Protein backbone atom coordinates (compact mmCIF):
# COMPACT_ATOMS: atom_id res chain seq x y z
CA UNK A 1 0.00 0.00 0.00
CA UNK A 2 1.33 3.43 -0.93
CA UNK A 3 0.54 6.21 1.51
CA UNK A 4 -1.21 8.75 -0.67
CA UNK A 5 -0.31 11.81 1.36
CA UNK A 6 0.16 15.31 0.05
CA UNK A 7 1.04 16.82 3.44
CA UNK A 8 4.27 16.25 5.37
CA UNK A 9 4.98 18.03 8.68
CA UNK A 10 8.24 18.60 10.54
CA UNK A 11 8.85 18.81 14.29
CA UNK A 12 12.55 19.12 15.09
CA UNK A 13 15.15 20.87 17.23
CA UNK A 14 17.14 21.88 14.12
CA UNK A 15 16.27 25.59 14.29
CA UNK A 16 16.33 28.02 11.36
CA UNK A 17 20.02 28.94 11.08
CA UNK A 18 21.19 25.88 9.17
CA UNK A 19 19.85 24.04 6.15
CA UNK A 20 18.96 20.82 7.97
CA UNK A 21 15.19 20.93 7.53
CA UNK A 22 15.52 22.17 3.95
CA UNK A 23 17.72 19.16 3.15
CA UNK A 24 15.11 16.81 4.57
CA UNK A 25 12.46 18.42 2.38
CA UNK A 26 14.74 18.12 -0.64
CA UNK A 27 15.15 14.39 -0.06
CA UNK A 28 11.38 13.86 0.09
CA UNK A 29 10.84 15.98 -3.03
CA UNK A 30 13.19 13.67 -4.94
CA UNK A 31 10.52 10.96 -4.49
CA UNK A 32 7.44 13.12 -5.12
CA UNK A 33 7.23 16.79 -6.09
CA UNK A 34 3.50 17.25 -5.54
CA UNK A 35 3.64 17.79 -1.77
CA UNK A 36 2.75 20.35 0.88
CA UNK A 37 5.32 20.86 3.65
CA UNK A 38 4.30 22.31 7.02
CA UNK A 39 6.71 23.13 9.86
CA UNK A 40 4.95 22.44 13.14
CA UNK A 41 8.07 23.60 14.99
CA UNK A 42 11.79 23.47 14.32
CA UNK A 43 12.51 25.32 17.57
CA UNK A 44 12.08 22.52 20.08
CA UNK A 45 14.56 22.94 22.92
CA UNK A 46 17.66 21.01 21.77
CA UNK A 47 17.55 17.33 22.74
CA UNK A 48 14.23 17.71 24.60
CA UNK A 49 12.27 14.67 23.41
CA UNK A 50 9.51 15.23 25.96
CA UNK A 51 8.79 18.75 24.69
CA UNK A 52 8.68 17.48 21.11
CA UNK A 53 6.27 14.72 22.14
CA UNK A 54 3.99 17.33 23.71
CA UNK A 55 4.01 19.63 20.67
CA UNK A 56 3.23 16.73 18.33
CA UNK A 57 0.52 15.43 20.65
CA UNK A 58 -1.37 18.73 20.70
CA UNK A 59 -0.82 19.54 17.01
CA UNK A 60 -1.18 16.49 14.79
CA UNK A 61 -4.98 16.05 14.95
CA UNK A 62 -5.54 19.50 13.42
CA UNK A 63 -4.21 18.10 10.15
CA UNK A 64 -6.23 16.01 7.69
CA UNK A 65 -6.03 12.26 7.99
CA UNK A 66 -3.33 10.93 5.72
CA UNK A 67 -0.74 13.46 6.87
CA UNK A 68 2.82 12.23 7.43
CA UNK A 69 4.56 13.69 10.50
CA UNK A 70 8.35 13.62 10.83
CA UNK A 71 9.47 14.01 14.44
CA UNK A 72 13.23 14.33 14.76
CA UNK A 73 14.60 15.29 18.16
CA UNK A 74 17.25 12.65 18.44
CA UNK A 75 19.98 12.84 21.08
CA UNK A 76 20.75 9.16 20.36
CA UNK A 77 21.48 9.64 16.66
CA UNK A 78 24.03 7.12 15.42
CA UNK A 79 23.47 4.86 18.42
CA UNK A 80 21.51 1.64 18.87
CA UNK A 81 18.00 3.11 18.98
CA UNK A 82 15.66 1.99 16.19
CA UNK A 83 13.93 4.05 13.55
CA UNK A 84 10.15 3.62 13.49
CA UNK A 85 7.13 4.35 11.35
CA UNK A 86 3.79 4.50 13.21
CA UNK A 87 0.19 4.47 11.94
CA UNK A 88 -2.19 6.14 14.39
CA UNK A 89 -5.70 7.54 13.89
CA UNK A 90 -5.21 7.88 10.15
CA UNK A 91 -1.85 9.66 10.49
CA UNK A 92 1.73 8.47 9.98
CA UNK A 93 4.65 9.31 12.29
CA UNK A 94 8.28 8.73 11.32
CA UNK A 95 11.32 9.22 13.52
CA UNK A 96 13.61 7.71 16.14
CA UNK A 97 12.38 5.16 18.66
CA UNK A 98 13.08 7.33 21.71
CA UNK A 99 9.61 8.15 23.01
CA UNK A 100 8.84 11.08 20.74
CA UNK A 101 5.60 9.35 19.67
CA UNK A 102 4.55 8.15 23.14
CA UNK A 103 1.04 9.59 22.81
CA UNK A 104 0.37 7.24 19.89
CA UNK A 105 2.13 4.21 21.32
CA UNK A 106 -0.09 4.26 24.40
CA UNK A 107 -3.21 4.07 22.26
CA UNK A 108 -2.85 1.02 20.03
CA UNK A 109 -0.80 2.35 17.13
CA UNK A 110 0.60 0.07 14.43
CA UNK A 111 4.40 0.13 14.65
CA UNK A 112 6.91 -0.68 11.94
CA UNK A 113 10.66 -0.85 12.41
CA UNK A 114 12.52 0.89 9.59
CA UNK A 115 14.56 -1.64 7.63
CA UNK A 116 18.27 -1.90 8.36
CA UNK A 117 19.00 -1.45 4.63
CA UNK A 118 17.85 2.16 4.86
CA UNK A 119 20.53 2.80 7.51
CA UNK A 120 23.40 1.65 5.27
CA UNK A 121 25.92 4.06 3.71
CA UNK A 122 24.55 7.14 5.46
CA UNK A 123 25.81 9.90 7.74
CA UNK A 124 25.93 8.66 11.36
CA UNK A 125 25.04 12.19 12.53
CA UNK A 126 22.11 13.14 10.27
CA UNK A 127 19.44 10.45 10.30
CA UNK A 128 16.78 13.13 9.88
CA UNK A 129 17.86 13.55 6.27
CA UNK A 130 19.34 10.16 5.43
CA UNK A 131 16.87 7.84 7.22
CA UNK A 132 13.64 9.53 8.21
CA UNK A 133 13.14 11.86 5.23
CA UNK A 134 14.12 8.98 2.95
CA UNK A 135 11.63 6.71 4.74
CA UNK A 136 8.85 9.26 4.12
CA UNK A 137 9.75 9.34 0.44
CA UNK A 138 9.78 5.56 0.17
CA UNK A 139 6.45 5.32 1.97
CA UNK A 140 4.84 7.81 -0.41
CA UNK A 141 6.28 6.30 -3.58
CA UNK A 142 6.51 2.57 -2.84
CA UNK A 143 4.49 1.71 0.26
CA UNK A 144 4.93 0.38 3.76
CA UNK A 145 6.26 -3.03 2.64
CA UNK A 146 9.40 -1.27 1.41
CA UNK A 147 9.79 0.69 4.63
CA UNK A 148 9.87 -1.85 7.41
CA UNK A 149 8.57 -4.81 9.36
CA UNK A 150 5.77 -4.70 11.90
CA UNK A 151 6.80 -4.92 15.56
CA UNK A 152 4.87 -5.10 18.82
CA UNK A 153 6.28 -2.28 20.93
CA UNK A 154 8.48 0.78 21.04
CA UNK A 155 9.85 3.22 23.62
CA UNK A 156 7.34 5.20 25.71
CA UNK A 157 8.48 8.12 27.86
CA UNK A 158 8.02 7.70 31.60
CA UNK A 159 6.75 10.31 34.07
CA UNK A 160 5.02 12.39 31.38
CA UNK A 161 1.87 12.97 33.41
CA UNK A 162 1.14 15.02 36.55
CA UNK A 163 0.85 13.32 39.92
CA UNK A 164 -2.36 13.77 41.88
CA UNK A 165 -2.22 13.81 45.69
CA UNK A 166 -5.61 14.45 47.32
CA UNK A 167 -6.45 18.07 46.51
CA UNK A 168 -3.16 18.96 44.82
CA UNK A 169 -1.57 18.07 41.52
CA UNK A 170 2.18 18.12 40.91
CA UNK A 171 3.06 18.94 37.33
CA UNK A 172 5.86 20.71 35.51
CA UNK A 173 6.65 23.26 32.84
CA UNK A 174 6.66 21.25 29.61
CA UNK A 175 7.08 24.07 27.07
CA UNK A 176 7.78 27.83 26.94
CA UNK A 177 6.26 29.60 23.95
CA UNK A 178 7.69 32.61 22.10
CA UNK A 179 5.71 35.01 24.30
CA UNK A 180 7.28 33.59 27.44
CA UNK A 181 4.13 31.78 28.58
CA UNK A 182 4.89 28.75 30.77
CA UNK A 183 2.92 25.79 29.44
CA UNK A 184 2.33 23.09 32.05
CA UNK A 185 1.50 19.43 31.54
CA UNK A 186 -1.69 19.81 33.61
CA UNK A 187 -4.99 19.94 31.75
CA UNK A 188 -8.54 20.72 32.96
CA UNK A 189 -9.49 17.11 32.26
CA UNK A 190 -6.89 16.03 34.82
CA UNK A 191 -7.52 18.65 37.50
CA UNK A 192 -10.20 21.24 38.15
CA UNK A 193 -9.33 24.89 38.57
CA UNK A 194 -8.12 26.26 41.87
CA UNK A 195 -4.90 28.19 42.21
CA UNK A 196 -1.32 27.43 41.22
CA UNK A 197 1.91 27.56 43.18
CA UNK A 198 5.12 28.24 41.28
CA UNK A 199 8.38 29.28 42.89
CA UNK A 200 6.55 30.05 46.16
CA UNK A 201 4.09 32.41 44.45
CA UNK A 202 0.31 31.91 44.51
CA UNK A 203 -1.15 32.32 41.03
CA UNK A 204 -4.86 32.86 40.34
CA UNK A 205 -6.89 31.71 37.35
CA UNK A 206 -8.11 34.08 34.63
CA UNK A 207 -10.41 33.29 31.71
CA UNK A 208 -8.22 35.02 29.09
CA UNK A 209 -5.08 37.15 28.78
CA UNK A 210 -7.10 40.38 28.71
CA UNK A 211 -8.32 39.71 32.26
CA UNK A 212 -4.76 39.65 33.59
CA UNK A 213 -3.16 42.51 35.45
CA UNK A 214 0.40 43.19 36.60
CA UNK A 215 0.57 39.92 38.51
CA UNK A 216 1.14 36.45 37.00
CA UNK A 217 -2.01 34.41 36.36
CA UNK A 218 -2.87 31.15 34.66
CA UNK A 219 -5.25 30.38 31.81
CA UNK A 220 -6.37 27.43 29.70
CA UNK A 221 -4.30 27.95 26.57
CA UNK A 222 -4.95 27.08 22.94
CA UNK A 223 -3.45 23.63 23.48
CA UNK A 224 -6.04 22.93 26.17
CA UNK A 225 -3.51 22.97 29.04
CA UNK A 226 -2.95 25.31 31.95
CA UNK A 227 -0.22 27.89 31.37
CA UNK A 228 1.25 30.61 33.56
CA UNK A 229 1.19 34.02 31.90
CA UNK A 230 1.85 37.69 32.50
CA UNK A 231 -0.17 40.25 30.57
CA UNK A 232 1.89 41.73 27.71
CA UNK A 233 5.07 40.47 29.36
CA UNK A 234 7.14 37.32 29.60
CA UNK A 235 6.40 35.00 32.50
CA UNK A 236 9.62 33.18 31.60
CA UNK A 237 11.67 36.29 32.36
CA UNK A 238 9.58 37.25 35.40
CA UNK A 239 10.23 33.89 37.08
CA UNK A 240 13.54 33.10 35.38
CA UNK A 241 11.72 29.88 34.56
CA UNK A 242 13.02 26.77 32.84
CA UNK A 243 11.42 23.74 31.25
CA UNK A 244 11.11 20.89 33.74
CA UNK A 245 10.50 23.03 36.84
CA UNK A 246 7.72 21.86 39.15
CA UNK A 247 4.34 23.57 39.33
CA UNK A 248 1.54 22.70 41.75
CA UNK A 249 -2.18 23.10 41.18
CA UNK A 250 -4.24 23.31 44.33
CA UNK A 251 -7.80 22.20 43.65
CA UNK A 252 -10.58 24.14 45.33
CA UNK A 253 -14.09 22.73 45.75
Residue range 230-247, pLDDT digits in tens: 999 999 999 999 999 999
- What integer pLDDT is reported at residue 161 of this predicted model? 86
- pLDDT class for 137, splitting at 50, 70, 90? very high
Confidence of residue 4 (pLDDT cuts 50, 70, 90): low
The answer on pLDDT for 1 being more than 60 is no
What DSSP character marks residue 144? G
Q: Is the dihedral of CA 19, 24, 29, 30 positive or negative?
A: positive
Q: Given this model, what pLDDT does residue 160 score? A: 78
| Domains observed in the chain | 7-151 (3.40.50.10790), 163-251 (2.40.30.90)
Q: What integer pLDDT is reported at residue 165 of this predicted model?
A: 86
**Exposure b/e, 66-98, CB count within 10 A at least 16 = b:** ebbbbbbbbeebeeebbbbbbbbeebbbbbbbb
Share of the chain above pLDDT 90, in %: 83
Q: Has this prediction a pTM greater than 0.85?
A: yes
Amino acid sequence: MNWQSKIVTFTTDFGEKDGFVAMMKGVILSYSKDLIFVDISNSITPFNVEEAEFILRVSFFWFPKGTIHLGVVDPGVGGKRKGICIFYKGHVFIGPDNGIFSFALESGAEIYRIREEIFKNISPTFHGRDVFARTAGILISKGIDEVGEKIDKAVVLKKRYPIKEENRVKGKIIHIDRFGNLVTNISPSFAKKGYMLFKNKKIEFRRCYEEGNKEPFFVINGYGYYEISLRNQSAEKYFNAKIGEEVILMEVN
